[in-house]
Structure 1
């Protein structure tokens, strides 16, 4: 904790001194893609639509530079890992995990305990699962990451919320972009996107393909992705938007290795044992086809009242040949969300009221078979699961005297499951079993107070509650069955935040200090065959300090008559310090209280250098460091420290105001470290390790035409 206090005092002193000086206008024209700016960037988190400086919450931002330029590989993982408090894993190409201010102990694979939205349309289903690997980063223009419990407006989840936005479409312009890339380990990808904007409409269509043979044995992956977004102003008051998404993904799963296997040959897949076959022999992998269609309406009665309502439907066709079985699953999701804002700007205390609700329903048919070298065999289980999630919420944001702003929100969350198991054998068949699991509805409040100090400094304090019911993949794990004893997580989060910049805007700082106390923490267990199940693990205490710092030592002159060669020279760093520990945690006869929670590095540092020139040359350098952290609850095994260096060098040329060509080369793991980008926590047989690629590179070309 001494690091937390020392860092906080140092930055508070620096910014207080800076704010005491007379503010001066910025010397650089800002862009919404520049996510490190505090004074101009508008965020949508908590429905405030305010400047980041005026938002009383810890929010990370990713723009087009971070998503589609800094790293050559077109995946979300490296960009997400630049945000303090966020850790994204990719145990094998396509196998994503995500932890926001927490551990991945709930997620053997997939994304849980995090809510996600694309243009206000929910991507997270009623069972709490998010198909993050169905998205292609090349179709995204912006991501907001709300860190910590946000249930007062977005429903169940103790981790956080992701808000995706599509590519911005300029009015009165039509553009086409073609791109391709190729790299190490059989990496190949291409993309075509078309955008068209008029005064009353904006349409974007893209197709993206990505494939790779993989670094390890049995890690090939291929994904095809189609995206459609459209927005149509049908009247002066009404805007209709549509989102269409289809993804066809297949990736092989090599399985975890124990330490001896990992040191001897990190490229190997999980070998066979005396009792179980290996991953390659069983053709272990994921086949996932995901489709979503959503429609939203924004209606503005007047300048004080407006409503946004969305409806969507989704479908998932999922198959998972595993070491011991072959799972086939089909999901059908329906849902909607409505949110109304009432603005009262002229009273003694200007206030904005937000009220609404969200209803999600997912129906799942799940069958397990035997696995005969990648071919489904005799049926083992035949089950159906229905998940329903209802959230009602209200929020008030009030402008108080002396530059204070108070935000208070409250939501009611109701999660229910229905489960049916059907007989799979005709002889001595057990009748169909019907079970339900209804969790008591909970109220989740949040209160935040923010004060601004001039135009360049703000501080906030917040108290929020978190609630996360078990996901459908936890009450019904991959081996089948229905867990009626698993309880929801409940917690309370205390947070202090500070944001500011110096007079000329060159130095910017964003700090957050928090303590999250969680009860009934859900953790993963594995049986001897490697199939997962989940249990509650008492209490956890999660304390952390997050900091984001940037300094522009070179910037372009806003005067267009000045032809300056360098338009950006920036140094930046993201710092995450954590102290996450179990409390009152008994595992058998062992008392694990005060042990560190596995999967969370006590120190994470991500530092970078950005360089851009007016002629079009650009360069990005990124370094990541994670110190060792425990891989099991007992704390008897730890990871290796991670030191990862990535670089991108490119040249962008525009001529005739229509044509654009962008050529770039990128290198990953330039220090050639043997490391795991995702560990299997609490793994049976000590199979914790999933080696990430050694030193590798790629080159790509983008060609655009605009008229």
Structure 2
């Protein structure tokens, strides 16, 4: 879903049960850059032939490099991507700086699971309902991708589950334990027979938390099935259920953060503290999606998906207690027509997406974690529709042209009901229908031989306010908030050299955004949102990896080491406001808060044929502003993580994987997610000091 540079992650996902040697089993087989196939923009082509910046995470990146069972550390290895976890389970995701709109949750990012939309009609993505242990692959398209994926200026994420081996059954049992009361276990069953494949995953995780009032309990169940009904027809199913509860300790001022970073937000003269009010999130989410793929012939195929979702949400906060029930329904259809034999071979992609959500939202008083007198009773309806078409044409002289266009329509309906019989006012009925917009994208790519390509693209972005921005926690219906609009200019170069041992991916872009949406908070800490004029966002993203041992030499003369890779990820940004007036203060040319001017991530991956493996990751972030006025700066972040493990096949059927992982090995006090523009200067959410995890996986196949 976003555009990025590739480094170490130039691998493809294969079954966990497959082995690269008789004694050890690797999570992935390393492929050369010109072999990696991506699904972004429906190309299903080699990354080298895809005119977009796409970051790729495989199962090795998601489930081996880091012991912590969350998406956060793996996503943070990709340039241009920043994932936060302000308290365990509370995720934020910024693609090219989009976290400016997200006090919590994932917004301004579209997410799909094999064409099934995970982002609802209100623009919210329940990232914390997914368990990283059930994922096999993630593609991140950076920047506006509305020509095919609809409204959004941040990017798009494409998820895939674990690969299921053909004609084989695999059962894996796992367990882990770590610092601060961390405990987890899981069971995964995969079976493939004839033309069907089924994967069932259950994962449990609990933690006491590093800070006061930061405990977490999470249970996830997923069911993925694919059935070849006929030679031309395939039906797939995705079922997800997540039961999540995490406590929210709240932000601290700098003085409180330095005095005791483990403390929760304390009480003031006018407001109670987080622990006293039992602040936290209770979220139960169910999702069921069906996919139908039909191939008329080798040139025409269609995929149509339908889904339904339900969410039961409760949030005891310092000043109120919110209870929300949400039902979502939607679908997407996409048809590809390939014309390979003309003078200009072309592939056409046409389709549509329709999403709808109905939300009942009630606010109560909060009496020490118990809902008290009702304060507001509201209903919100969100609708989002997208029509899209794309043409991809092979031109002479090794050029490839991609042109896409979509029409996006977002509508909200709001109704507030009286909560008191005495002097009750009639129900308020409000609507906000944004003018439909057309979003074009044009990209041109040229390959230079078999190992190098360059591309240039111009794309437009449009992001209507999400349902949590139209109806924020401060209450009411914000019918004055305008959508963001922007244009993105981008050039990129990727390729490999030295017999594919050296791989590089470099992208430079300029994104000009209008009506930028930023967060504000009132005296009680509840957020609301305003438009902040224009922003100019310039960036450079680069990934570089080098295999110290070449695959060819390894195959010719087998050695103890099967993989030894050094990789680097660099993000440079210059994001600034333009024409931004805040009261009497002119904030034009100030940096956007929450976006580091420089982020550098580097690491070393090693695997041996006897089963030992090791991963070391170092991350550095420059100081960055925490508010629009740039009067408060973060401290620099230095984070060292390492994992050491042993994986070995025991006979033909069994596989054992033991590992130990250390996080924040430099023992630095830092904040893994700041509260931007926080009232009262409560910006800080301390992450754990030096901590460790140990775990084991045992699998059997037959």
Q: Give your verdict on TM over 0.5.
A: yes
User: Which residue pairs with 1:40 in the alignment?
Assistant: 35
1:679 aligns with 2:674: yes
User: Which residue pairs with 2:244 in the alignment?
Assistant: 249
Q: 1:480 pairs with 450, 475, 478, which one?
A: 475
User: Does the 8 Å CA contact 2:27/2:59 hold for their aligned counterparts?
Assistant: no
Distance across 2 between alignment mates of 1:304 and 1:104: 41
Q: 2:44 pairs with 44, 49, 53, which one?
A: 49
User: Which residue pairs with 2:14 in the alignment?
Assistant: none
SS in 2 for 1:362: strand
> How many residue pairs are counted as aligned between the two chains?
682
Q: In the TM superposition, what are the counterparts of 1:290-689 in structure 2 within 5 Å?
A: 290-557=285-552, 562-689=557-684
1:155 aligns with 2:147: no
User: Which residue pairs with 1:179 in the alignment?
Assistant: 174
Q: 1:188 pairs with 176, 183, 189, which one?
A: 183
1:579–1:35 distance in 2 versus 1, CA, 3 Å: farther
SS in 2 for 1:638: coil
Q: Deviations over 1:372-430 (max 9, x none)?
A: 00000000000000000000000000000000000000000000000000000000000
Could you tell which deviates more after superposition, 449-458 or 654-663? 654-663
1:73 aligns with 2:40: no
User: Does the 8 Å CA contact 1:368/1:479 hold for their aligned counterparts?
Assistant: no
User: Does the 8 Å CA contact 2:398/2:446 hold for their aligned counterparts?
Assistant: yes
Instruction: Give the root-mean-square deviation of aligned CA atoms.
Output: 1.6
User: Which residue pairs with 1:5 in the alignment?
Assistant: none
Q: Deviations over 1:97-138 (max 9, x none)?
A: 000011412101000000000121000000000000000000
User: Which residue pairs with 2:268 in the alignment?
Assistant: 273
Deviation at residue 34 of structure 1 after TM alignment: 6.0
User: Does the 8 Å CA contact 1:456/1:503 hold for their aligned counterparts?
Assistant: no
Q: Deviations over 1:235-276 (max 9, x none)?
A: 000000000000000000000000000000000000000000
User: Which residue pairs with 2:107 in the alignment?
Assistant: 112
Q: In the TM superposition, what are the counterparts of 1:220-259 in structure 2 within 5 Å?
A: 220-259=215-254
Distance across 2 between alignment mates of 1:637 and 1:36: 45
1:207 aligns with 2:163: no
User: Which residue pairs with 2:134 in the alignment?
Assistant: 139
Distance across 2 between alignment mates of 1:382 and 1:58: 44
Q: 1:167 pairs with 115, 140, 162, which one?
A: 162
User: Which residue pairs with 1:3 in the alignment?
Assistant: none
User: Does the 8 Å CA contact 2:554/2:562 hold for their aligned counterparts?
Assistant: no
User: Does the 8 Å CA contact 1:34/1:63 hold for their aligned counterparts?
Assistant: no
User: Does the 8 Å CA contact 2:664/2:689 hold for their aligned counterparts?
Assistant: yes
User: Which residue pairs with 2:689 in the alignment?
Assistant: 694
User: Does the 8 Å CA contact 1:448/1:462 hold for their aligned counterparts?
Assistant: yes
Deviation at residue 528 of structure 1 after TM alignment: 0.5
Distance across 2 between alignment mates of 1:36 and 1:384: 51
User: Does the 8 Å CA contact 1:175/1:194 hold for their aligned counterparts?
Assistant: yes
Distance across 2 between alignment mates of 1:652 and 1:535: 52
Stretches of structure 2 that go unaligned for 5 or more consecutive residues are 7-19
1:35–1:601 distance in 2 versus 1, CA, 3 Å: farther
SS in 1 for 2:311: strand
1:648–1:451 distance in 2 versus 1, CA, 3 Å: same
1:37–1:424 distance in 2 versus 1, CA, 3 Å: farther
User: Does the 8 Å CA contact 2:98/2:108 hold for their aligned counterparts?
Assistant: no
Stretches of structure 1 that go unaligned for 5 or more consecutive residues are 1-7, 12-27
User: Does the 8 Å CA contact 2:27/2:60 hold for their aligned counterparts?
Assistant: no
User: Which residue pairs with 1:20 in the alignment?
Assistant: none
Q: 1:82 pairs with 77, 83, 87, which one?
A: 77
TM-score normalized with structure 2 length = 0.96
Deviation at residue 478 of structure 1 after TM alignment: 1.4
User: Does the 8 Å CA contact 1:189/1:211 hold for their aligned counterparts?
Assistant: yes
Distance across 1 between alignment mates of 2:277 and 2:27: 48
Deviation at residue 479 of structure 1 after TM alignment: 2.7
